[in-house]
Amino acid sequence: MPDKQKKIADEAVAEEETAAKTWTEKSPAKDEGEKPLTPDEIEGYCQLLYQKRKELVGDLGHMSEGALEGGRQDSSGELSSLPVHMADVGTDNYEQEFTLGLIESDRKLLTDIDRALGKIKNGTFGICEGTDEVIGRARLDAMPWARYSVKFAGKIERGLVRRPDESEPAKEEEEEAE
């Protein structure tokens, strides 16, 4: 078995090296003075992404189990399914809604991480999806799953541009509203 595991690990390393080489060859012009990422840097980001992904998958499983349990009755061991006070019902509902919100947020982050890992494989990691410019290392260090450069993300937040994946509203709908 160890030989099989070593072979799988060697194939994964070779795949990462190929992705890093492809990225370096496809990298855009250095508009912001950023040099293209080196294969070692890309491998480091890849490891960070896999580590964060593993952490999130574990958290999601644990939170999903907790959010979908029966609440106070299951967790406290009470025999009655009726809460002692109406405030207990509100607390249970709030905690469940809060946990479900965290789960949704983590699922979105997991999707972003998977997208970043796909970009590493296809050689486009570290390139802004809105401008095709290099995303700065400081941003990638903070958020290796970043899709946009700081400049483009700021424009999105201020409403100056749309996210590239958002569709334009249909003109017919706008005309009907008038």
Does residue 53 lie within any of the structural domains? yes
Residue 63 lies in a domain: yes
Domain presence at residue 157:
no
Report the largest interatomic distance among the alpha carbons of the chain, rounded to a whole angstrom. Answer: 69
Place of tokens 């999903």: 64
147 falls within a domain: no
107 touches 116 (CB < 8 A)? no
Q: Is 15 strand, coil or helix? A: helix
Count of domains observed in the chain: 1
Q: Tokens for 57, please give them.
A: 């998958």
Whether 36 is covered by a domain: the verdict is yes
Q: How far apart are CA 36 and CA 134, in angstroms?
A: 7
- Tell me, yes or no, whether 29 lies in a domain: yes
CATH of the domain at 43: 1.20.120
Model confidence pLDDT, tens digit, residues 126-177: 999 999 999 999 999 999 999 999 999 999 999 999 988 765 544 444 444 4
Residue 134 counted as domain residue: no
134 three-class SS: strand
Euclidean distance between CA atoms 9 and 23, whole angstroms:
21
* CB contact at 8 A, 113 and 49: yes
Q: What's the token pair of residue 89? A: 């019902």
Q: Which domain holds residue 111?
A: 2-126
Query: Each residue of 55-90: pLDDT tens digit?
Result: 888 766 666 666 666 554 455 555 555 556 777 777
Q: Which of 33, 14, 63, 18 is nearest to 134 (CA)?
A: 33
Please name the amino acid found at residue 29.
A
